[in-house]
Amino acid sequence: MAKDLNATGRWLKRITQSFSGEPQDREELLGVLREAGERGLVDSEALTMLEGVLEVGDIQVRDIMVPRAQMVCVRRDDPSSTIMPVVVESGHSRFPVMDADRDDIVGILLAKDLLRLCISDVHERFDIREYMRPAVFVPESKRLNVLLKDFRRNRNHMAIVVDEYGGVSGLVTIEDVIEQIVGEIDDEFDVEDDQNIRKEADRQYTVRGVTRIDEFNEYFGSKLSEEEGFDTVAGLLMKELGRLPRRGEAANIEGFEFRVARADRRRIDALRVVPPRDFVPPDERQPGSES
């Protein structure tokens, strides 16, 4: 890692030397980098990552964590027949294991470890204690640059976030931290470049935040308002909630459930949308009919 940082430092020095004077503080350095981007010396993706590197030390865990209310947990005393549907439905790779209440996290369960349950005799004698990994706890105020070092040093991928009283506030993963630097990482919520709306399952769709409301209405046969000063689905959701929501937060608008699947501190990138029960998919509609 030190070698990479040294190489980055030499690269930044070459950029700053191509401009008049050397930056005296972070704001001036950001100005230099953005000017380099305008001149074409740094492409937009590289500029975003450089800005993320400079900002990550100012961001606290509480700013990016998955809130407690949106955590998907399993209980230590649950049988495998209860745990497996939770694992399959959520699609996550790691699950906090709680005891009597959500403030008593006793370990972490990895989805890949449950593959052994496919063998019937293992299934019959399932004991979650044989599968759990130790849970790591971090305070809400921990800086992301320090957390990333801890993740790399201890080879952990998830940490439970606690408040000043020791209660569970949420959870944070190494992917959450890395995305603050490199931008969003491709996952199950990504939509192909040539489409903004993708059907995932019956009454379940992934929709890009930048999808225009008129495109959404045309696809779903809906009548979401376009008169609120917003052009996109993300803008409409922010208007409904009155702020930029975090991942996992949801709202119901005109019978549609909009749940934030992916977002950062600046924008909503992807939404999981569940239409009303009487919704008819486009490929099942009769010509000239509406949902």
Beta strand 256-263 with 197-201: parallel, antiparallel or unpaired? unpaired
User: What's the pLDDT score for residue 120?
Assistant: 58
CA distance 105 to 98: 4
Q: Which two tokens stand for residue 252?
A: 């119901």
Q: Do domains 63-182 and 197-284 have the same CATH topology?
A: no
Host H or E run for residue 94: strand 94-98
Q: Which one-letter DSSP state was computed for residue 210? A: T
pLDDT tens for residues 64-98? 888 887 788 999 888 888 888 888 777 788 999 99
Q: Do 178 and 201 contact (CB within 8 A), yes or no?
A: no
CA distance 151 to 154: 5
In 49-79, which positions are buried (b, 16+ CB within 10 angstroms) versus exposed (e)?
ebebbebbeebebbebbbebebbbbbbbebe
User: What's the pLDDT score for residue 185?
Assistant: 57
Average pLDDT value over all residues in the chain: 79
CA distance 229 to 242: 13
Provide Rg for the chain, Cα atoms. Answer: 23
Most confident of 29-33, 41-45, 183-187, 232-236: 232-236
In CATH, what class is 197-284? alpha beta
Confidence of residue 216 (pLDDT cuts 50, 70, 90): very high
CA distance 157 to 94: 9
Structural domain spans, the chain: 2-58, 63-182, 197-284
Report the sign of the C-alpha dihedral through residues 15, 17, 21, 26, in that order.
Answer: positive
> 63-182 belongs to which homologous superfamily?
CBS-domain (3.10.580.10)
User: What's the pLDDT score for residue 261?
Assistant: 82
Which residue do the tokens 């192909």 mark?
192
pLDDT tens for residues 32-70? 777 777 777 777 777 777 777 777 777 889 888 888 877
Residues 115, 119, 124: CA angle, nearest 5 degrees? 105
Whole-number Cα distances in Å, 100 to 72, 78, 164: 15, 11, 21
pLDDT tens for residues 122-136? 556 778 888 899 999
Number of other CB atoms surrounding residue 43 within 10 Å: 9
Q: What share of the chain is helix, strand, coil (3-state, %, to 5)?
A: 40, 20, 40
Q: Which residues pair with 139 in a beta bridge?
A: 162
DSSP string for residues in 149-189? HHHHHHT--EEEEE-TTS-EEEEEEHHHHHHHHH-PPP-TT
